[in-house]
């Protein structure tokens, strides 16, 4: 009577190379499963990041427009004041210039000391 080969399903009875291959197959399957689960989460995060970026750009654009309008309004008011009070405007400008020159001279003197 010939001996029949008996195949065991135990991994201990398998050759090391077969066990390694089986382990790599399982790891590969798990990695693919994790990648499949992670993809939608990463897509949502990317979408949220992009939405936040667009919101930030829109906020910067709005702030820039507000600042531009305020600067134009201040410029218009300044021109109007100069037209109404030209002598006073020149005296204010001269005083401001003299003050700036005085501050610059003080800073230059303290820097050389």
Q: What is the mean pLDDT of the chain?
A: 87
pLDDT value of residue 13: 59
Tell me the per-residue pLDDT of 72-99, one tens digit each, with 9 for 90 and over.
999 999 999 999 999 999 999 999 999 9
Q: Is the pTM of this model over 0.85?
A: no
Least confident of 23-27, 39-43, 58-62: 23-27
Residue 61 domain-assigned (yes or no): yes
Residue 92 half-sphere exposure toward CB, CA atoms < 13 A = 8
Q: How many domains does the chain have?
A: 1
Residue 8 domain-assigned (yes or no): no
Rounded Cα gap, residues 16 and 87, in angstroms: 100
Residues 83, 87, 91: CA angle, nearest 5 degrees: 120
Range of the domain at 108: 21-112
In the chain, what percentage of residues exceed pLDDT 90?
A: 63
């Amino acid at each position: 009577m010939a001996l029949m080969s008996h195949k065991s399903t135990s991994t201990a009875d398998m050759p090391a190379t077969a066990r390694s291959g089986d382990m790599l197959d399982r790891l590969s399957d798990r990695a693919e499963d994790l990648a499949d689960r992670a993809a939608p989460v990463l897509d949502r995060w990317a979408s949220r990041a992009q939405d936040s970026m667009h919101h930030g750009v829109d906020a910067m654009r709005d702030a820039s427009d507000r600042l531009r309008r305020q600067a134009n309004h201040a410029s218009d008011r300044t021109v109007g004041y100069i037209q109404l009070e030209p002598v006073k405007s020149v005296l204010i400008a001269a005083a401001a210039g003299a003050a700036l020159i005085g501050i610059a001279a003080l800073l230059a003197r303290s820097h050389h000391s």
